[in-house]
Amino acid sequence: MTIDIGIVGGTGYTGVELLRLLAQHPSVRVRAITSRKDAGTKVADMFPSLRRRYDGLAFVEPDAARLADCALVFFATPHGVAMAQARELVAAGTRIVDLAADFRLKDPALFERWYKMPHACPDLLAQSVYGLPEVNREAIRGARIVGNPGCYPTAVQLGFLPLLEAGVVDTRHLIADCKSGVSGAGRKAEVNLLFAEASDNFAAYGVRGHRHHPEIAQGLALAAGGPVGLVFTPHLTPAIRGIYATLYAPLVCPDTDLQALYEKRYAGEPFVDVMPPGSAPDTRSVRASNMLRIAVHRPAGTDLAMILVVEDNLVKGAAGQAIQNMNLMFGWPETAGLDALPVLP
């Protein structure tokens, strides 16, 4: 069975990554892709990398897309767009995977505080499922709306998760020191993203507060069974793709076999690779793939767990995870369309 898919906001990096990955999927057809600014432009003209896969597909105005005729719609849009259209689509029987933040935070007041807009459909927010498959796999299968996790939250939550579930760390003192390539900021013109600004440079940002902090804290609190204390500091690196998260947590059970704990928790997970003891993953080892790699360490002379996590921010951190969620929602193999190996060099 082949289903029709719609993509709202297909001109950004996550939009083109959705198209690249969906071109390899055996059970979907992209029926419509929208853009107000670029309506009428052929997808293959904007993205030559997609020639001969999408030669007949052009961007259309949202009102002309007939999204309600699609089985599922991906929203690769700024915050606020998906929730404005969700009610109509759900009523028509269309399922939604939102790659922005509209359906990530369960508290509407918290969403309004961080995103500076009221939530348009808090009743649908309460019904939505947070799309981290390694945590919510069964709930995602039956979901009408999935809030796809952010890139940093995916890496940080999966990195800390086994420690919190096992209750072996002091949850009041969690530290997430994270780095991202510049594609994480989106396909837009900003001074700090210019080549002459970002190249040969390294800087922290969002130090006073980043929008991913409440999302991460929400997930970690659920895993820990109560509030957590989290310091989260993101950095911009002179790279295009990749998330590198170095995580620290004080152990309250120093005798814990951390390697065994992680290997057991992620046994059978198709997109989480727990590396051998002593490993140090790099972002190049996951580039263009949906794989997330984890290495577990305990620094000598300390009672700290140190967890190293890498992922591609545009794939497992965005479009790939969205397709992983779609696969669960339609009962397909979770790896469908996502089994491509990382690109090297």
Q: What is the pLDDT of residues 325-344, one digit of tens each?
A: 999 999 999 999 999 999 99
User: Which residue ranges make up each domain of the chain?
Assistant: 3-127, 151-313
Kindly name the residue from 121, 151, 178, 253 that is annotated as catalytic. Answer: 151
Mean pLDDT of 262-290: 98
CATH superfamily of 151-313: Dihydrodipicolinate Reductase; domain 2 (3.30.360.10)
Q: Quick check: 243 pLDDT over 80?
A: yes
Q: What is the pLDDT of residues 131-181, one digit of tens each?
A: 999 999 999 999 999 999 999 999 999 999 999 999 999 999 999 999 999
Amino acid letter, 319? A
Q: What is the pLDDT of residues 9-48, one digit of tens each?
A: 999 999 999 999 999 999 999 999 999 999 999 999 999 9
Using alpha carbons only, what angle is made at residue 325 by residues 244 and 48, rounded to the nearest 5 degrees?
70
Q: Would you state the pLDDT for residue 198?
A: 87
* pTM of this prediction exceeds 0.95: yes
CATH superfamily of 3-127: NAD(P)-binding Rossmann-like Domain (3.40.50.720)
Q: Among this protein's residues, is 253 annotated catalytic?
A: no
Q: What is the pLDDT of residues 208-229, one digit of tens each?
A: 999 999 999 999 999 999 999 9
